[in-house]
């Protein structure tokens, strides 16, 4: 149960009603994070606009790479809602159940191609605290992606950091999006520390 109940529309309330109707239209149900964010209508507008721009109007980057990056980010942060929703979106974008099962051990897995590995490396670099993106890593990204694609990938990872950290703080749990599908589990902090230390 979330620490804040979703905000209900009051009167005409076009901002909340339109946002909730849009998420129901896109995903078949109202998204709980949008309901919680509904307590602050200006932020609801801003975050919803960024989310819609990323999901509906940002198509320069292969969808499966974008969702792979975002799912790895939410796995590192441990947001239950984002892992549920992200697993659903990633599988819908073409990632296999085997890839999701081996996401936390992607370095040792044979299920990921070189480009997917590069995207996962970038996701981890951006999600570390403090952020560490070496020039060498960004140079390798530039070999495969143009400027528009780099902006889209970077914003996807950055927004997922915002979503996952906020939802985690609010205590928002999964909504059953990945029910009947494989759902990625969070990665334990000590497990990640051991992997990073081994490199």
Looking at the structure, tell me whether residues 73 and 143 fall in a common domain. yes
Q: Which of 39, 57, 75 is the last residue of a domain?
A: 57
Looking at the structure, tell me whether residues 170 and 89 fall in a common domain. yes
Find the angle CA(74)-CA(61)-CA(192) to the nearest 5 degrees: 25
| Mean pLDDT across 29-53 | 97
pLDDT beyond 80 at 43: yes
> In whole angstroms, what is the distance from residue 133 CA to residue 176 CA?
34
Find the angle CA(188)-CA(193)-CA(195) to the nearest 5 degrees: 100
Q: Both tokens of residue 75?
A: 């796995």
Give residue-wise pLDDT tens across range 110-145.
999 999 999 999 999 999 999 999 999 999 999 999
Q: Which pLDDT does position 1 carry in this prediction? A: 77
> Is 55 within 8 Å of 139 (Cβ atoms)?
no
Give me the CATH number covering residue 108: 1.20.1290.10
Whole-model pTM? 0.92
pLDDT beyond 50 at 72: yes
Which range among 111-120, 131-140, 176-185, 188-197 shows the weakest confidence by mean pLDDT? 188-197
Question: What whole-number percentage of the chain has pLDDT above 70?
Answer: 94
Domain range for 117: 61-198
Looking at the structure, tell me whether residues 37 and 102 fall in a common domain. no
| Mean pLDDT across 174-194 | 81
Looking at the structure, tell me whether residues 126 and 143 fall in a common domain. yes
Looking at the structure, tell me whether residues 101 and 134 fall in a common domain. yes
Looking at the structure, tell me whether residues 112 and 36 fall in a common domain. no
**Is 195 buried (19+), middle (13-18) or exposed (0-12) by CB count in 10 A?**
middle
Looking at the structure, tell me whether residues 109 and 13 fall in a common domain. no
The total domain count for the chain is 2
């Amino acid at each position: 149960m979330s620490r804040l109940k979703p905000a209900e529309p009051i009167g005409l309330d076009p901002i909340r009603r339109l946002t909730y109707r849009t998420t129901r239209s896109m995903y078949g149900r109202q998204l709980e994070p949008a309901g919680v964010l509904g307590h602050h209508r200006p932020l609801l507008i801003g975050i919803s606009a960024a989310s819609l721009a990323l999901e509906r109007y940002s198509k320069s980057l292969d969808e499966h790479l974008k969702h792979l990056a975002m799912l790895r980010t939410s796995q590192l942060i441990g947001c239950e809602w984002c892992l549920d929703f992200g697993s659903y979106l990633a599988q819908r974008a073409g990632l296999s159940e085997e890839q999701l099962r081996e996401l936390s051990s992607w370095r040792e897995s044979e299920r990921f191609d070189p480009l997917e590995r590069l995207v996962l490396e970038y996701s981890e670099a951006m999600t570390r605290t403090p952020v560490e993106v070496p020039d060498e890593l960004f140079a390798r990204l530039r070999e495969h992606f143009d400027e528009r694609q780099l902006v889209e990938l970077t914003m996807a990872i950055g927004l997922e950091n915002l979503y996952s950290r906020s939802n985690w703080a609010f205590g928002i749990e999964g909504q059953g999006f990945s029910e009947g599908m494989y759902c990625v589990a969070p990665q334990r902090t000590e497990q990640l520390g051991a992997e990073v230390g081994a490199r």
